């Protein structure tokens, strides 16, 4: 079960709304959604959570690049909405590398067999091969820990959030009352 909400700062305080992510397929789509909710290019926070598994906060300030924090990257990686937040840059990967590899695999038969031949199996990995998987997603928090620092939530507080993180974030940024209206 997912929940997503937008908190948009205005000159009168915060405005909150729950939001559907059905049409959101990329971080760019999510950023555009946040910018549409922005008044005079003020700060917008997008909060996404998968119940009891992970949550993410995306901060959009005008035309600046979005700033992202995810509470558990490995749990988010198993989620379609979480995958949107986990950028190559956050994961330390070469941008677009996964897409390039997938495209090459589609163009070329990389298993080394001829059409009609049975597929050969790869030799078993050596037991002492402890090289980390470059595509592995780290467990635990990832992203910009200071994403909410100037709004009233320190890095330490963000790292300690567990259940009902949205209520604590809304309280820290001064939007608890408006958030209750959409929760």
How many CA atoms are closer than 13 Å to the CA of 126, on its beta-carbon side? 4
Q: What pairs with residue 50 in β-bridges?
A: 2, 54
Ordered strands of the 13-18 beta sheet: 13-18, 2-10, 43-50, 54-61, 67-70, 142-143
Q: Round the average pLDDT of the chain to a whole number and report it.
A: 82
Q: What is the mean pLDDT of residues 72-94?
A: 89
Under 8 Å CB-to-CB from 30, ≥6 apart: which residues?
Answer: 21, 24, 46, 58, 66, 84, 85
* Residue 140 burial (10 A CB sphere; 0-12, 13-18, 19+): exposed
Question: Residue 106 pLDDT > 90, yes or no?
Answer: no
d(CA 136, CA 77): 10
Under 8 Å CB-to-CB from 82, ≥6 apart: which residues?
Answer: 48, 50, 54, 56, 70, 75, 76
pLDDT, residue 180, reads: 83
d(CA 55, CA 79): 11
Q: What is the pTM of this model?
A: 0.77
Name which residue leads in pLDDT, 60 or 105.
60
DSSP state of 15: E
Q: What is the CA radius of gyration of the chain?
A: 20
- pLDDT digits 0-9 by tens, 20-63: 888 899 999 999 999 998 878 899 999 999 988 999 999 999 99
Name which residue leads in pLDDT, 135 or 80.
80
Q: What is the mean pLDDT of residues 143-171?
A: 92
d(CA 122, CA 120): 7
């Amino acid at each position: 079960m997912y929940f997503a909400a937008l908190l948009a700062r205005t000159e009168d305080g915060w405005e909150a709304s729950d939001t559907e992510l059905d049409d959101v397929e990329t971080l760019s789509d999510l950023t555009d959604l946040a910018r549409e909710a922005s008044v005079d290019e003020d700060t917008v926070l997008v909060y996404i959570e998968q119940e009891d598994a992970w949550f993410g906060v995306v901060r959009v300030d005008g035309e600046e690049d979005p700033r992202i924090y995810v509470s558990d990257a490995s749990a988010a990686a198993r989620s379609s909405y979480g995958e949107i937040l986990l950028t190559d840059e956050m994961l330390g990967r070469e941008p677009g590398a996964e897409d390039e590899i997938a495209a090459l695999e589609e163009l070329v038969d990389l298993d080394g067999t001829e059409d009609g031949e049975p597929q050969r199996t790869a030799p078993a990995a050596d037991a002492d091969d402890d090289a980390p998987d470059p595509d592995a997603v780290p467990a635990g928090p990832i992203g910009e820990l200071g994403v909410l620092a100037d709004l009233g939530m320190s890095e330490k507080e963000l790292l300690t959030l567990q259940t009902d993180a949205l209520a604590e974030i809304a309280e820290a940024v001064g939007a608890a009352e408006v958030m209750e209206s959409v929760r």
